[in-house]
Chains A and B, each alone.
Chain A
Amino acid sequence: MRPYISAFRMSLSEQVTYRFGFFFARLRGLFVLVTLFFVWSAVSMKTGFFAGYSREELMTYVFGAHILRSLVFGSQSRRIASEIHDGTFSLFLVRPVNHFLFYYARELSERLLLGFFAVLEVGIIVVFFDSTFLFPSHLSVFFFVFLSVFLSHMLYYCMSYGMSMLAFWSREAMGPRFLFEWILEFLSGAFFPVSIVATNVALVFLFFALPFIYLVFMPLTIYLERVPGNQLFLSFVWQGMWIAIVAGLLRALWRRGLRAYTGEGI
């Protein structure tokens, strides 16, 4: 366990070493939040409703999405692709550590730090612009939200780790990765509740069958208490199933990838 705790600590200090850079990174997130806040405020201003969401629910969704983007969408596993390309990945093969868990420790520290700052930023925006942030009516909802967020965090990490492993076979892993991140963020509901576009049965089925909505949309829908009890259980089953599928694929990719790895640059 000790190497992973060290990796967690190292990643944490790495994040805060270059404070000016960290400040700019947070500023970037803040710009996205402010933009979405005003755009969705403008569209719901006339009637107080938008696509079945009250103005307060919509604003809470925007704020919640900002926090979840920080807690779920990580960037640490991006390094894996460049390490495979320049050969530094070989160092991990001779160390007595599990590569997946080592990077997970790094990712977790980054997510927790950024998640903390995201909560602060939301607090500032809510106070500064005198907006509303709804809280659930039952305390038990927090437990379900926590569980759902944890599962989405795991699911994203597995998917992201798998994308980086493409570097075993291609030097152009960043292009597909960029596309993957962009599509994923879009379909996960990070910009708006995806139920707005799921206007017919086929689209609803497509959205609910694919793993994307379980990253942002589902935890926030649970938070807003818009998921009935029986569907709540089903959503957890679906999230767990996707984690199992992606983890299985990861195992296969890892084995094949190691065979294809040439240790270029050693």
Chain B
Amino acid sequence: MKTYWNIYTVFVQNGVSYLAQYRKDAWWNVAVNVLWVGMLFLIVEVIFSQTATIVGWKKEEVYLLTILWTIVSEAFVMIFGGNTQQIPHMITDGDLDIFLTKPANTLFLVSTRFFLFRAFYRLLADFGILAWIVWRFDVGVSLPHAVLAFFLVVCGIIVHFSMTLLANTLSFWFLRIDNVNDTLVSLHTLGRYPIDVFPKTLKILLLTALPMAFSGYIPVAVLTGRWPWYAVGYAVCFTAAFFCLAVRFWSFALKRYSSASS
């Protein structure tokens, strides 16, 4: 475990060094991110300028949903984003060979080697916006609910990672599936809306086979008391099972890897 901790520390240090080379770019990124969140909020404002609730959700709840979804997305990008998306290229170019020869878990190296430090700054900005929402709308949240919501945000990040890993692992069989990551980004946006707007079948899918509800809906549903506390049990069990499935699928695919160039 200590070895992996040391490796990860090096990855984070590399991320800091990379950021130090492109400082202006980092600030530009934070500004773009704040603008982007602002535009998401503008869509919420547009909708609520004409109606008081959407399928029973109030404006402040949709704001919370939007920002928690953004936090899950940003945390995923910071830790895994620049890595899992590279899997199809690594397989087609044969770069995966390098990681197979290292004396460490291949999946760990492949999925964590680039720590995107500028996303950390964006994440801080997002937490600032979250604090502003809680203050602005006077959102009354109890400490146990807040802790549970934070825990579910972590589950959301793991589910998002598992989903991305499952999709990118397909590149062991199919060449050039770069678009799969753009598709996942679009699919992930489904989690930005209260899933009650969707029909029952799609709602079930979003809680099971296409688990986008984990990125925002479930933490906010628990935070606002829409979901009972014991529903957290389902979220945790599902996260663990989905993560195991993604890892097993990766191991299964890795056995069929025949290298491309080296």
CB contact under 8 A between A196 and B182, given known A18-B175, A39-B193: no
The answer to whether A31 touches B39, judged by C-beta atoms less than 8 angstroms apart, is: no
The residue on A at minimum CB distance from B47 is: A43
Question: Are B177's CB and A24's CB within 8 A?
Answer: yes
Chain A: minimal CB distance from B117 (Å):
16
Given contacts A18-B176, A31-B189, contact A25 B50 (CB under 8 A): no
A-B contact pairs, 28 of them (CB 8 A): A20-B174, A21-B177, A21-B178, A21-B180, A24-B180, A24-B182, A24-B183, A28-B182, A28-B186, A31-B189, A32-B186, A35-B193, A38-B193, A38-B198, A39-B47, A39-B193, A39-B197, A42-B55, A172-B25, A175-B28, A175-B32, A178-B32, A179-B32, A179-B35, A182-B36, A186-B39, A191-B43, A197-B46
Contacts of B185 in A (CB 8 A): 28
**Total interface residues on B, using CB and 8 Å?**
35
- Indicate if the CB atoms of A32 and B189 lie closer than 8 Å: yes
Q: How far apart sit A34 and B198, CA to CA, in the bound complex (Å)?
A: 9
Contact B179 A24 (CB under 8 A): yes
Interface residue? B258 (CB, 8 A): no
- Cβ of B101 within 8 Å of any chain A Cβ, yes or no, is no
Contacts of B10 in A (CB 8 A): none
Q: For the complex, is A254 an interface residue (Cβ under 8 Å from B)?
A: no
Residues in chain A near residue B55, CB distance under 8 A: 42
A92 at the interface (CB under 8 A from B): no
Contact between chains at B36 and A43 (CB < 8 Å): no
| Partner-A contacts on B (CB < 8 A) | 25, 28-29, 32, 35-36, 39, 42-43, 46-47, 49-51, 54-55, 174-180, 182-183, 185-187, 189-190, 193, 197-199, 202
Chain A stretch 1-47: residues in CB contact (< 8 A) with chain B: 18, 20-22, 24-25, 27-29, 31-32, 34-35, 38-39, 41-43, 46
Interface contact A50-B176, CB-CB below 8 Å: no
Distance A192 CA – B48 CA, assembled complex (angstroms): 13
Q: Is the CB of A175 within 8 A of B179?
A: no
State the main secondary structure of chain A at its contact with B.
helix
* Given known A35-B190, A182-B36, contact A175–B25 (CB-CB < 8 A): yes
Q: Residues of A within 8 Å of B, CB-based: how many?
A: 32
Most buried by B among A42, A182, A192, A196: A42
Return the contact of B43 from the options A24, A42, A192 (Cβ within 8 A).
A192
CB distance from A180 to the nearest CB of B (A): 11
In the bound complex, do residue B54 and residue A43 qualify as a contact, i.e. CB atoms below 8 Å apart?
yes
Q: How far is the CA of A28 from the CA of B190 in the complex (A)?
A: 11
* Contact between chains at A38 and B197 (CB < 8 Å): yes
> Of all chain A residues, which has the CB nearest B170?
A20
Closest to B28 in A: A175
**Whole-angstrom distance between the Cβ of B213 and the nearest chain A Cβ:** 13
Which chain B positions have C-beta within 8 A of A43?
Answer: 47, 50-51, 54
Q: Which residues on A sit within 8 Å (CB–CB) of B43?
A: 191-192
Tell yes or no: A206 within 8 A of B by CB: no
The interface residues of chain A lying within 8 Å CB-to-CB of B54 are 39, 42-43
| A182 proximity list for chain B (CB < 8 A) | 36, 39
Given A34-B202, A197-B46, 8 more pairs with CB closer than 8 A? A20-B176, A27-B186, A35-B193, A38-B197, A42-B55, A50-B50, A172-B28, A182-B39
Min Cβ gap B111→A in Å is 21
In the assembled complex, A51 has its CB within 8 A of some CB on chain B: yes
The docked-state distance in angstroms from the alpha carbon of A39 to that of B191 is: 12
Give, as a whole number of angstroms, the nearest-CB distance from A66 to chain B. 12
Q: Which chain B residues border A196 with CB–CB below 8 Å?
A: 46, 49-50
The answer to whether A38 and B199 touch (CB under 8 A), given A24-B182, A27-B183, is: yes
Which residue of the partner chain B has the closest CB to A41? Answer: B197
In the complex, residue of chain A having the shortest beta-carbon distance to the beta carbon of B198: A38
